[in-house]
């Protein structure tokens, strides 16, 4: 761990992205779901868009000048202006929405199973899919996603592990083990699972957090000895 930053302990983090010095975060739970711009250093929200109470917010990704946000079981996604969160359009998908990222050409969506779905970023039609597999078989529970230097990083729900995935083959190329990262939390502070991966492409920084976590962490990967 390189550095710990403050994080809203009431944020049920479902999606995380980093762009131009700003954290973009999507939160879940019915009646509490939102999309927010967050100051990395202070953890304070700069801009917040509340979702309707009947929607459970999920993954987010920044694609060009747009932010794309999924919902869990409503089969509905939203496209917003990156700067103002003005709604540009809605789109639908047949599977559950868990995590979303992109490789610059395709959106990559997880639905809680072992499948990654590839969507056209303009029409949102599915244009491909791949099953994620490790040595011992399919890897289910794919959750929040981030595209990092040609690989897809995926939180594996409900664990403290992140899978590194070759998006062409679906093969898991390695694991990021983050058990114990959060450390001790104050008494009475509820925390949930590790969830949320953001990558700073310009400076090569990697950030992670979790649902209801009081901190967001910048981490550096090291080989397991």
What per-residue confidence (pLDDT) applies to 224? 64
Beta strands 57-63; 22-27: pairing state: unpaired
| Polymer length in residues for the chain | 225
What is the C-alpha separation between 58 and 106, in angstroms, rounded? 19
Q: Which two tokens stand for residue 153?
A: 């990083």
- Report angle CA 97, 98, 102 to the nearest 5 degrees: 90
pLDDT at 225 over 60: no
Phi-psi region of 76 (alpha: psi -120 to 50; beta: other; left: phi over 0): beta
For the chain, the structural domain boundaries read 3-219
What per-residue confidence (pLDDT) applies to 185? 85
pLDDT at 134 over 60: yes
DSSP 119: E
Helix (H) or strand (E) holding 120: none
Q: What is the pTM of this model?
A: 0.97
Q: Which fold has domain 3-219?
A: Methylamine Dehydrogenase; Chain H (2.130.10)
Cα separation values, 140 from 125, 132, 165, Å = 23, 8, 13
Assess contact for 214 and 5: CB atoms under 8 A: no
pLDDT tens profile 101-131:
999 999 999 999 999 999 999 999 999 999 9
pLDDT tens profile 54-100:
999 999 999 999 999 999 999 999 999 999 999 999 999 999 999 99
Q: Which two tokens stand for residue 165?
A: 């995935």
């Amino acid at each position: 761990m390189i550095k710990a930053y403050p994080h809203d302990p009431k944020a049920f983090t479902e999606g995380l992205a980093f762009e131009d010095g700003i954290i973009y975060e999507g939160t879940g739970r019915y009646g509490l779901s939102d999309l927010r711009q967050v100051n990395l250093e202070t953890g304070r929200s700069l801009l917040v868009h509340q979702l309707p109470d009947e929607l459970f917010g999920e993954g987010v990704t920044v694609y060009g000048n747009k932010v794309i946000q999924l919902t869990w079981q409503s089969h509905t996604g939203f496209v917003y202006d990156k700067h103002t969160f003005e709604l540009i359009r809605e789109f639908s998908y047949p599977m559950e929405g868990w995590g979303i990222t992109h490789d610059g050409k395709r959106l990559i969506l997880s639905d809680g199973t072992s499948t990654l779905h590839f969507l056209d970023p303009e029409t949102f039609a599915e244009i491909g899919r791949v099953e994620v597999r490790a040595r011992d078989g399919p890897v289910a529970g794919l959750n929040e996603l981030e595209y990092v230097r040609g690989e897809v990083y995926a939180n594996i729900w409900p664990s403290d592990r992140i899978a590194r995935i070759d998006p062409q083959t679906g093969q898991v190329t390695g694991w990021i083990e983050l058990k114990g990262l959060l450390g001790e939390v104050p008494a009475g502070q509820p925390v949930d699972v590790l969830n949320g991966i953001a990558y700073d492409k310009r400076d090569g920084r990697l950030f992670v957090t979790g649902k209801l976590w009081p901190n967001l962490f910048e981490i550096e990967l090291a080989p397991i000895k």
